[in-house]
Structure formats: C-alpha cells, structure tokens
Amino acid sequence: MIAIIGAMDEEVLEIKKIMNNKVESSINNIEFCTGIISKTDVVLLKSGIGKVNAAICTTVLFSNFDVDKVINIGTAGGLLKEMNPLDVVVSTKVAHHDWIVKPFNWPTGFDQDKTCYSADEQLVDIVNSIVKEDTKHKVYCGPIASGDLFVSDLEDVNRILESFPGAMCAEMEACGVAQVCKHFNKPFIVIRSLSDVALNKDNGIEFDTYLQQASANSAIWCNKFIKKIEDLA
C-alpha cells in the first residue's frame, strides 16, 4: 500500500478525484481515505499545515496501516529565478531550514544527516524516467527546504539559500514526513507543484491564484508516478 500525504483540502481533494473504491475514516482526528489509484491500493490523508502536524499524522499512519512507501504531495514556493507557477519539484533530499541551533554548531546544508533526509533513490529514478517521457512540463529534481514559514520576502529566501545552497523550493511539511519515515525505515518521495515563486513580488497573491491548479498538477504527477511503479513491477 502506498500512502499519499497532503496538507490542505485542495491538495487532498484532487487526489480523491483519481481514486476508486474510496472509504473514509477518522483516526485520532486525522482524516484518512483508502482506495485504489489505477491498480494500486492507497491510503490518503490530510495532515494539516506545518511540520508538527505532518509528523503526527505520519506516525498515526504507520501505527494503523501497512504502508510500503510514502508520497508527500501538494504545493510549494519556488526558490529559483527561472521558475514559474505550476512547475514541478521532486525531492532528492529535504532539510529543516528553520532548525537553527547555532550554540551547538549543528550543520546546515544538504550534505549532512542531522537535519536532512534523503528521498528513496529508486523512487527518484522512477520520477526521472517519467520526466524523460513527458516534455510538456518543467520538472526539477533536487533538494527541498522545509520549515514552518510561508516564504514571502527576499530576506527569508536569501537566508535559506545561504544555509541550504541548491534548494529548489520551500514548503511546510516534507521534513515532518521525512523524519518520521526515517524513524520507521519507510521510503519516501516528495512531489510538489509550485503555487508561487518566492522571489516574485506579492507571491501570496500568486499562491491564491495558483493553489487549485498546482494541487491538480501535483495529483497528475502522483498518478503518473503510481502507474509507472505498476509498469515496473
């Protein structure tokens, strides 16, 4: 069974549209929906916004469902000048950009395992194989910065890129999911569609404009990913 985790109603509803045989339930006040995408058993859950919510729901998930792998879907804010809303970012690694403990000299960047977690290499390879087959979408594969902050000003962008060079997007749940996956030894991957680009002026307005489309785009890529896993089985 594959688990799919989204933070917001918009993100989760787009996944439900491509599911069959849906059965909804609530466990510890977390909304779960089991069903089938293509030919694969899945469980979909809404974590709520933020890393703590994401960690709680992922822990409850593993305590109640027999999950083989985890896909964290949804939206994110791009960190590169050349990016545009609705581009897709797939994780190679995710790191806590707001875990700042300077007195203890904790490392930053993506080349460390203190606050950084690697996505499953086989899952990343599957996404890369899809990218080669589909030239209609701009897809970036690289590291993602995760924190309890909607990145909306240049100071935050510069701080993130200085401490985590190479970060392609920023979002608010992936590290909560990834850290729990590491604890339970479960493979994960993050597939996010950009709702905004943090370098753009008024990216909060951009977020409102593209949230629905970005959520739908994330669901499309999730569907492609699952079908590709089936083809390779």
| 38 token code pair | 């293509």
Residue 209 exposed, middle or buried by CB count within 10 Å (0-12, 13-18, 19+): middle
User: Active-site positions?
Assistant: 11, 196
Task: Return d(Cα 67, Cα 53) in angstroms, integer.
Answer: 19
Concatenating the DSSP letter of every residue in 29-57 gives TEEEEEEEETTEEEEEEE--SSHHHHHHH
| Residue 213, token pair as written in the block | 């489309």
